[in-house]
């Protein structure tokens, strides 16, 4: 079984010039698409679950399925709680078999963000669960979190070492202008800031909001060699558009399994294509 936490998986990317994709699943079908893409592409992968997904599907189903689906495959698979803001949910994930959690204390002042994140790090590390923190404030809409443009706060590169040292996180999400959800208008990313962050950081850096980026921006982010990039919105769109197209084009054929098969295939293709773009394919013999 290659169910792992994200520590070694992300550290391996740092000197080998590739990125691990983290994909938000919405059910067991999309989870199996992501894990099967990893298997076929011989790529490490991170399955992400939002708090909303956890509440809907339940702890046991999600963690048991992730472990079961990653049995007997070469590819390393991690399961992370994305944007944990509810301490109870974060702790339950740690105790229910998630291999990683993200603590999103990004809306809090610096010291409070450190305190909250460290509280979880102390528990998580006892269970061999890795922790991602967030410094700065990523914009857009992600499940329960809505950040207006005026509240976006790009990460101060000069603060990241202090945050890492005092919180004890294993990886850190930074804000460089990427957004959750679909991009409206021109995308403006602060590459000088990312360059400075990558120069200073001696630990894995994470970029959120990588769906729907212009190809050129996506490539440029990848070229700075962050360790993890998150794809969520595009999966939601593939998922619902597949059902919508199925119902519109095939409206005499009410066969759920046929529609589920299409969702599985379309999601798997999206994920596999990202693995090629991220350079994480063919990591195993
Ligand atoms: Zn995010």
Q: Torsions phi, psi of 55, nearest 5?
A: -65, -40
Range of the domain at 20: 7-278
Residues annotated as part of the active site: 82
Does the pLDDT of residue 152 top 90, yes or no? no
Residue 284 lies in a domain: no
pLDDT digits (tens, 9 = 90+) for 217-258: 999 999 999 999 999 999 999 999 999 999 998 667 889 999
More confident residue, 215 or 145: 215
Instruction: Kindly report the length of the chain.
Output: 285
Average pLDDT, the chain: 95
Residue 1 exposed, middle or buried by CB count within 10 Å (0-12, 13-18, 19+): exposed
Whole-number Å distance, alpha carbon 248 to ligand 1 midpoint, is 32
Q: What is the pTM of this model?
A: 0.95
CATH code at position 202: 3.20.20.70
Whole-number Å distance, alpha carbon 74 to ligand 1 midpoint, is 27
- What's the pLDDT score for residue 147? 67
- What's the pLDDT score for residue 213? 95
Neighbours of ion ligand 1 (CB under 5 A): 142, 208
Residue 124 lies in a domain: yes
Mean pLDDT of 187-214: 96
Please tell me the least confidently modeled range out of 151-155, 175-179, 180-184, 277-281: 151-155
Q: How far apart are the first and last CA of the chain?
A: 16
Residue 32 lies in a domain: yes
Does the pLDDT of residue 40 top 70, yes or no? yes
Residue 283 lies in a domain: no
What token pair was written down for 151? Answer: 């509240």
Q: Strands 100-103 and 77-84, how do they pair?
A: parallel
Whole-number Å distance, alpha carbon 285 to ligand 1 midpoint, is 32
Whole-number Å distance, alpha carbon 161 to ligand 1 midpoint, is 21
Which residues touch 219 (CB under 8 Å, ≥6 apart)? 277
Residue 28 exposed, middle or buried by CB count within 10 Å (0-12, 13-18, 19+): middle
Whole-number Å distance, alpha carbon 180 to ligand 1 midpoint, is 6
Confidence grade of residue 97 (pLDDT, cut at 50, 70, 90):
very high
Whole-number Å distance, alpha carbon 198 to ligand 1 midpoint, is 19
Residue 16 lies in a domain: yes
Confidence grade of residue 184 (pLDDT, cut at 50, 70, 90):
confident
Confidence grade of residue 148 (pLDDT, cut at 50, 70, 90):
low
Q: Count how many domains the chain has.
A: 1
- Are the CB atoms for 102 and 83 separated by under 8 Å? yes
- What's the pLDDT score for residue 183? 87
Phi-psi region of 154 (alpha: psi -120 to 50; beta: other; left: phi over 0): beta
What token pair was written down for 143? Answer: 């499940």
Residue 43 lies in a domain: yes
Q: In what order do the strands lie in the sheet with 179-180?
A: 145-147, 139-142, 179-180
Residue 285 lies in a domain: no
């Amino acid at each position: 079984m290659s169910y792992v936490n994200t520590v070694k998986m992300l550290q391996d990317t740092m000197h080998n010039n590739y990125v691990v994709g983290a994909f938000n699943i919405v059910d067991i079908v999309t989870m199996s698409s992501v894990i099967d893409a990893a298997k076929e592409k011989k790529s490490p992968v991170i399955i992400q679950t939002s708090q909303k997904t956890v509440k809907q599907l339940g702890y046991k189903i999600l963690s048991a399925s992730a472990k079961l689906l990653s049995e007997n495959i070469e590819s390393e698979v991690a399961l992370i709680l994305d944007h944990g803001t509810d301490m109870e949910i974060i702790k339950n994930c740690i105790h229910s078999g998630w291999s990683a959690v993200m603590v999103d204390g990004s809306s809090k002042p610096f010291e409070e963000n450190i305190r909250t994140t460290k509280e979880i790090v102390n528990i998580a590390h006892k269970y061999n669960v890795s922790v991602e923190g967030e410094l700065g404030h990523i914009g857009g809409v992600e499940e329960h979190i809505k950040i207006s443009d005026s509240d976006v706060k790009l990460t101060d590169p000069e603060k990241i070492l202090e945050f890492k040292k005092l919180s004890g996180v294993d990886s850190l999400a930074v804000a460089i202008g990427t957004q959750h959800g679909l991009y409206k208008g021109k995308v403006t990313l602060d590459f000088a800031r990312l360059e400075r962050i990558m120069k200073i950081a001696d630990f894995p850096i994470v970029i959120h909001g990588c769906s729907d980026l212009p190809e050129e921006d996506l490539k440029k982010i990848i070229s700075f060699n962050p360790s993890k990039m998150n794809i969520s919105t595009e999966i939601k769109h593939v998922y619902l558009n597949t059902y919508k197209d199925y119902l519109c084009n095939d409206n005499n054929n009410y066969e759920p399994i046929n529609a589920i098969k299409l969702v599985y295939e379309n999601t798997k293709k999206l994920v596999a294509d990202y693995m090629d773009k991220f350079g994480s394919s063919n990591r195993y013999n």
